[in-house]
Structure 1
């Protein structure tokens, strides 16, 4: 693999605090808009399912997730080659077209096409963090990166309330128009960034690997979703699973032979990397998937014998879970602050165990305000500890030269597992559900089973990570402990 020294950072230190703040906002807004858009669109899923009378609401999230996941490594390479600002503007423009199509489409297939196009915006966070290293001088890169990440707290606290208000007053298109407006602002802010010229590194685009990975993922997810309707032993389902196997085998062969793979399989042969990325990826992917379950539970109507939804408003569910969401951010921040003292495995293990308890709590305690508030607090505490420890586990398990690849693989694995677990959860929920006037509704057993499945997957993730060997604390890394 050909290597090249990194480009010089574009110093903004001499322009003062105001310029630093403007550039920081220009990176924070696009990066955190990913989370905001996820919350806003997720809150619309119940209303969209009823409006378009569809049993395929799972694909509202899956179309976005699969595209964003597969494109992330490709877009990262494009940013290095053609300049991060140019690439960020391009994917933001494509994402805007997709989000407009979601809002304006009169039919559900058009909505799904829009969601797939919107997925092109998904890699923006990876580019924003990389751009910080190019834009800010060394003494400010750490602060800028920390603020880009920690601003998640404001997103988690405010966006559910805003999305709930817009949903209650303007229907499902209210939060979707909020996402469109946010994308427009993101594009305007990105134009204020300094130019970041591309620097070809000699690396090749692993187009074939990306295509094979996408084919394996789509065929598996689609097969899981259609298995009940078509029959698990039907030729079509068996054909889809055969495509999954063949594409996966071909992907492994290609990745072993290419100099610049999408996934460095050689890294995954090391116990520390495999257990960290595998276990944390399974946990995070499951948590991202199960978030939709609460939205459907709260916002679907209560129809005896048909739907066990609570019939709440968007604002109500946001307020009921606010304490849990805030705790998620606070505990994650605490893990970061204590990273120099703690073995990062300890908050991860504790957080994973509490996360399992939170998911089990949701499985049986999801009928009243008090029960859901309690379950949200337990889950928020656990997931905050666990998610906060993930970057520390990665940092302490790989060399500085491998950090970029490891972070990219983490994002990729999370997205793939998110897509697969989301479809599994919807399959399990549909088994006890009822279809009425073309819309899939869910029973109390549906919601219980979804949380039990998620708790089981989280338990597997915890078991995998119990095998993580010792990792370095951040203080040891900074002092040359590696």
Structure 2
């Protein structure tokens, strides 16, 4: 087959990233990140409109991230085999369909479990689309840049586009959520999903008209045994972590899931060592710089999205701020990457990436410890914004540096595999962050509430009276009281969401005796969650500092040919 040649002052017969393709890749990654970031400011409305449990709330975000984590390596291979532009087109279409399904989630006249299931299906499809987009865009950048300077600049554009999606999405979602849907104020979250679905259309047009295709089929083929074993392992692990927070980690199905995850991981390693064209070349991890970057990526991503999840729950579900107000924190968190992208690109060329990574992860730890010291009882948005800005600055420094190290240390023809692996590790950390943090915080809060009940007979009596209130009411009042009782017993977030008092005939009457108890318990548990994120970031700092001793993490940028 005749190969098309792109020449921009470099060697012929290899793919060179042009500006139009970079724009298409940037638009696609911004769209995928917008879909990821959208639910963060809507958690409070999900709970109010759908009546979700704490576990369901976690699954709404996880339903996006799990397929991203499961399929990124496979999509990296498919892009190498059949063309990255083609995969980008398919991913954008699937993502748009998923967001449209989320928008079409049934209303309050349908059973809650069905409504949540429809939303989860939409999120899963969105995640599948994003799984195609994320490694493909990074592979386009990595495979088409052949000097350290060009690659640093291109990755900074890619990272800035990713940050733009994270930056714009919460503001858009928070703004649109102010408008009722089908006459229901709490259903306005649907408009955010529709907005992302609509944005998928111009992104698709940009890809169709501007992107140049590229591939690297040499030595690559679909590795079904590898895909199946890694998918089973990751899904079993994520299921155990997320669902264990509800059923308990000693439950038989959770223990079984951990065992399946471990056995499947061993099977994956065995399969990949014997595969002629493995899904993941394990010898990549023999490269010290790549291995250190991989571990740091998981820990840093865990810390960042764990911080984002805590911030979302604290502002929206605990303190009761509106989605638009909550979005301010995410503008600060994600805007730092956008603001610092040009500076970080220059720093990557001039300085050892080790110091950017270590400094970035260290700043994340400082910001999280600072945030942990601020009690939710202050009810102040302004106090939490400075530490969130520090976390955002830290991730801005670390993200570009760790991405550059990971893709610079492999030959160009393995760019798809390296970018897929890097994206998988990043999104694995992203998935673990909210899941683990949510499990720790909600378990701690539930235990604290139960301890208060055990210690106070007056509180137990008040709760018993509250539970029996629906039996003494009728009509709409009875239905409202039954819903309130159900919410209080759904978990700490539900107990905090039902007000302590209500106005009846102009008088304040007691309603939920657990509201203040739940608020205090959640305040403490989510502060401790910030500390857990800080610990992950500190560990990443130490690993980078020690692991890169005597190693040049800038690696090499291969000049091996890339087919077009």
Shorter chain as denominator, the TM-score bin is 0.7 to 0.9
Q: Could you tell me the TM-score, scaled by structure 1's length?
A: 0.85
**Kept in 2: contact 1:53–1:439 (CA 8 A):** no
Q: Could you tell me the TM-score, scaled by structure 2's length?
A: 0.73
CA distance in 2, matches of 1:116, 1:361: 35
Instruction: Flag the 1:446–1:321 CA change in 2: closer, same or farther, 3 A.
Output: same
**Kept in 1: contact 2:289–2:406 (CA 8 A):** no
Answering whether residue 417 of structure 2 is matched by residue 405 of structure 1, we say yes
| 1:277-426 map, 5 Å | 277-300=294-317, 309-320=318-329, 322-365=331-374, 367=376, 368-394=380-406, 397-398=409-410, 403-426=415-438
2:267 maps to which of 240, 250, 254: 250
**Kept in 2: contact 1:332–1:389 (CA 8 A):** no
Displacement of 1:274 in angstroms is 1.9
| 1:139-154 map, 5 Å | 146-154=156-164
**Kept in 2: contact 1:272–1:397 (CA 8 A):** yes
**Kept in 2: contact 1:339–1:473 (CA 8 A):** no
Answering whether residue 198 of structure 2 is matched by residue 119 of structure 1, we say no
Displacement of 1:364 in angstroms is 2.0
Instruction: Flag the 1:155–1:354 CA change in 2: closer, same or farther, 3 A.
Output: same
Answering whether residue 208 of structure 2 is matched by residue 191 of structure 1, we say yes
CA distance in 2, matches of 1:324, 1:200: 39
1:212 maps to which of 219, 229, 234: 229
Answering whether residue 108 of structure 2 is matched by residue 99 of structure 1, we say no
Give the equivalent residue in structure 2 for 1:304: none
**Kept in 2: contact 1:213–1:248 (CA 8 A):** yes
- 1:397-451 Cα distance to aligned partner (Å, 9 max, x none): 4455655433322111222232233211111121144662646617112311221
Q: Which has the larger radius of gyration?
A: 2
Answering whether residue 488 of structure 2 is matched by residue 436 of structure 1, we say yes
**Kept in 2: contact 1:356–1:455 (CA 8 A):** yes
Higher relative contact order (CA 8 A, sep 6+): 2
1:203 maps to which of 208, 220, 226: 220
Instruction: Flag the 1:131–1:332 CA change in 2: closer, same or farther, 3 A.
Output: closer
Give the equivalent residue in structure 2 for 1:449: 528
CA distance in 1, matches of 2:225, 2:412: 28
Answering whether residue 240 of structure 2 is matched by residue 232 of structure 1, we say no
**Kept in 1: contact 2:223–2:278 (CA 8 A):** yes
**Kept in 1: contact 2:34–2:168 (CA 8 A):** no
1:468 maps to which of 547, 555, 558: 547
CA distance in 1, matches of 2:236, 2:45: 27
Which stretch has the larger CA shift, 321-330 or 239-248? 321-330
**Kept in 1: contact 2:143–2:412 (CA 8 A):** no
Give the equivalent residue in structure 2 for 1:109: 117
Describe the SS at the equivalent of 1:192. helix
Give the equivalent residue in structure 2 for 1:262: 279
Describe the SS at the equivalent of 2:179. helix
Which stretch has the larger CA shift, 54-63 or 35-44? 35-44
Describe the SS at the equivalent of 1:466. helix
- 1:93-151 Cα distance to aligned partner (Å, 9 max, x none): 2222222211112210111111111111113133234446889999x986666534433
CA-based RMSD of the aligned residues comes to: 3.3
Which stretch has the larger CA shift, 121-130 or 340-349? 121-130
Pairs aligned (count): 460
Instruction: Flag the 1:179–1:73 CA change in 2: closer, same or farther, 3 A.
Output: same
Give the equivalent residue in structure 1 for 2:33: 35
- 1:282-311 Cα distance to aligned partner (Å, 9 max, x none): 2123312331221121112xxxxxxxx121
CA distance in 2, matches of 1:136, 1:338: 18
Instruction: Flag the 1:218–1:473 CA change in 2: closer, same or farther, 3 A.
Output: closer
Describe the SS at the equivalent of 2:352. coil
**Kept in 1: contact 2:411–2:557 (CA 8 A):** no
CA distance in 1, matches of 2:526, 2:103: 28
CA distance in 2, matches of 1:394, 1:202: 20
